[in-house]
Amino acid sequence: MFVDKAKIKIKAGNGGDGAVSFHREKYVAAGGPDGGDGGKGGDIVFQVDDNFSTLIDFRYKRKYSAKNGEPGGAKNCTGKSAPDLVIKVPRGTVVRNAVTGRIMADLSTDEPQILAKGGRGGKGNIHFATSTRQIPRFAKPGFPGEEFEVTLELKLLADVGLVGYPNVGKSTLISVVSAAKPKIANYHFTTLTPVLGVVSLGEEKSFVMADIPGLIEGASDGIGLGHEFLRHVERCRLIIHVVDVSGIEGRDPIEDYEKIQQELERFSEDLSERPQIVAANKCDMADPEQIARFREYIEEKGLRFFEISAATTQGTSELIQAAGYMLSELPPIIQYEPEPITEEELMSAETYGKFEIEIEDGIFYVDAKWLEPIMRTINMDDYSSLQYFQRVLRSSGIIDALEEKGIEEGDTVNILGFEFDFVS
C-alpha cells in the first residue's frame, strides 16, 4: 500500500525539576543548599531511512512522545537527560505544521533534523542562595518540551518526471530505459502509484526517472486520480511529456498535450513552466502526417520533440541522451528551506499572551512558554532584531505587566534564562 501523506502529533520531553536539598555531613553544622538541576527532556528528531518508501507506518501510530528529563538530586547532582526520540521517514519527506502549513523541515539529506526541542531542566535551590537568603527552600520546575501537530508529505526525489494521459506508454518507457518493472496493461490507470527507475547513461552517469500516474482532463476537479500524485513531480528538474500520436484511442495528440498542460498549470504554475521534452510515443503505428502536424505544433513552442516507440525501443536512446544533456545544464533537485516562525503565527498560538512574572532578589523573572521559539531567532547584536523582540514584548503585554510590578530603568529582566537590563 502506497501512502504519501500522514498527520501525527509529536511531543518533546519535559525538563526535569530542580531539587530542593541541603548538605548533610557529620561535623558540618550548616552545609547550605546543594539541590541539583533537572535533566533536559528528549528532542524529537527526524532521520532519513532509505529502507522506507512510504509513510504507511504513520497510519497506525499517530502520537510520538520523547521521555522527560530526570529531576535533580542532592549533592548538586544534575538529573539525567532523556534520550532523543528518532523518527525514521523516507527520503523526500516534507514536514509541515498542520495548523499553519509552515514548512518545518525537508528530509532530503542524511542530516537529522530536530523538530521539537526538549525542555530545559529546572534550576536546583543551590542557584538561589544569596548573602541575604542562605536557606532557599524552593527550586525551579523543568520547562515543558515543544509539541506540534505535523503533516508528513512524501515528495519523491527524481530528476525527470514522466507525465501524460493514462495508457500513453509511460510505464513501458520507464521499463525499457531503467531496471524498474511497473505493472503494464492495456487499460487506463494501470499505474496507481509512482514508480522510480534509475537510468544509466554510461561512464558512471545516471539520473532518476519517475513514472507519475496518468492525468486526465478535470483532474483538478477530482476526476480520475486527480492531482493526488502530482506532488511527486514537483521536485523534478525536467519533465518528459509523453503523448500517444497513434490515434488508436480516437484522441487528438495536440488536444491531449494542451489538456495535460492545463492540469499542470492548475496544480502549480511553476511546475507547468519547468523545462520540458515532448516524446511522441507509438509513432510506429501513427500516420506520418499526424506526427508531422504534432511536431510542428510542439517545435513552435520552442520545445524539443522526439519520435519514439517505447514498445520497440525506437528513439528511446536518443530521448534519454537528450534528457541527460539537459539535466547537466539544470540546477540540482529542489529542496525546501524551513520557514521561520512568523509573528502572525505567534499571535495566533493558543498560549500567546500567557505569562507569569516573579521577582527574586531584584530580578524580574518572566515565564512565557510561547516565547521559546522566537527567542532562538533573536540576534541580540542586531538592532532590527532587537526592535522586533521589543515589539513582541510590548504587544503581548509583558512590558506593561513589568511596569505595573514597579520595574525601573536598569533593573534586570530574565526571560527563559536570558538576562538583560530594562530600558523603558
Is pLDDT at 391 greater than 60 in this prediction? yes
| Confidence at residue 358, expressed as pLDDT on a 0 to 100 scale | 86
Alpha-carbon 32 to chain mean position: 49
Residue, of 223 and 382, whose pLDDT is higher:
382
Single-letter amino acid, residue 146: E
Domain boundaries, the chain: 1-154, 160-329, 340-424
| Confidence at residue 338, expressed as pLDDT on a 0 to 100 scale | 82
104-130 per-position pLDDT tens digit: 999 999 999 999 999 889 888 888 787
| Confidence at residue 349, expressed as pLDDT on a 0 to 100 scale | 53
* C-alpha radius of gyration, the chain, whole number: 30
For the structural domain made of 340-424, what CATH number should be given? 3.30.300.350
59-87 per-position pLDDT tens digit: 889 999 999 999 999 889 999 999 999 99
| Confidence at residue 181, expressed as pLDDT on a 0 to 100 scale | 63
User: 254 has which bridge partners?
Assistant: none
| Confidence at residue 229, expressed as pLDDT on a 0 to 100 scale | 63
Residues 78-100 have a mean pLDDT of 93
Residues 293-318 have a mean pLDDT of 92
310-325 per-position pLDDT tens digit: 889 899 999 999 999 9
259 pLDDT tier (thresholds 50, 70, 90) = confident
Residue entry with cell 498542460: 261
Contact at 8 Å (CB) between 364 and 414?
yes
180 pLDDT tier (thresholds 50, 70, 90) = low
7 pLDDT tier (thresholds 50, 70, 90) = very high
Q: How many helices (H) and strands (E) does the chain have?
A: 9, 18
| Confidence at residue 219, expressed as pLDDT on a 0 to 100 scale | 46
Alpha-carbon 405 to chain mean position: 42
Looking at residue 244, the DSSP 8-state letter turns out to be E
Percent of residues, the chain, with pLDDT higher than 90: 31
β-bridge pairing 238-244 and 276-281 = parallel
**Mean pLDDT score across all residues of the chain:** 83
| Confidence at residue 347, expressed as pLDDT on a 0 to 100 scale | 57
350-382 per-position pLDDT tens digit: 555 678 888 887 889 888 877 776 676 566 777
Most confident of 66-70, 183-187, 398-402: 66-70
Is pLDDT at 224 greater than 50 in this prediction? no
| Confidence at residue 228, expressed as pLDDT on a 0 to 100 scale | 63
**Equal CATH topology for 1-154 and 160-329:** no
| Confidence at residue 342, expressed as pLDDT on a 0 to 100 scale | 64
Architecture of domain 160-329: 3-Layer(aba) Sandwich (3.40)
Task: Write out the three cell numbers for 320.
Answer: 534519454
pTM, entire model: 0.69
Q: How many C-beta neighbours within 10 Å does residue 277 have?
A: 19
Q: How far is CA 76 from CA 18, 28, 123, 129, 193, in A?
A: 10, 17, 10, 13, 58
Distance CA 412, CA 363 (A): 5
Q: How far is CA 165 from CA 161, 214, 224, 241, in A?
A: 13, 5, 11, 9
Asked if the 1-154 domain carries CATH number 3.55.40.20, the reply is no
169-179 per-position pLDDT tens digit: 888 888 888 86
| Closest C-alpha to 12, from 37, 45, 60 | 45
**Phi, then psi, of 188 in degrees rounded to 5:** -65, 150
User: 48 has which bridge partners?
Assistant: 89
Percent of residues, the chain, with pLDDT higher than 70: 86
| Confidence at residue 4, expressed as pLDDT on a 0 to 100 scale | 77
Looking at residue 48, the DSSP 8-state letter turns out to be E
Burial pattern 107-135, b for ≥16 Cβ within 10 A else e, equals: bbeeebbebbbbbbbbbbbbbbeeeeeee
Is pLDDT at 290 greater than 60 in this prediction? yes
Residues 335-359 have a mean pLDDT of 70
**Cα-based torsion angle of the residue sequence 179, 4, 193, 321 in order, rounded to the nearest 10 degrees:** -40
User: 279 has which bridge partners?
Assistant: 242, 306
| Confidence at residue 351, expressed as pLDDT on a 0 to 100 scale | 54
Single-letter amino acid, residue 351: T
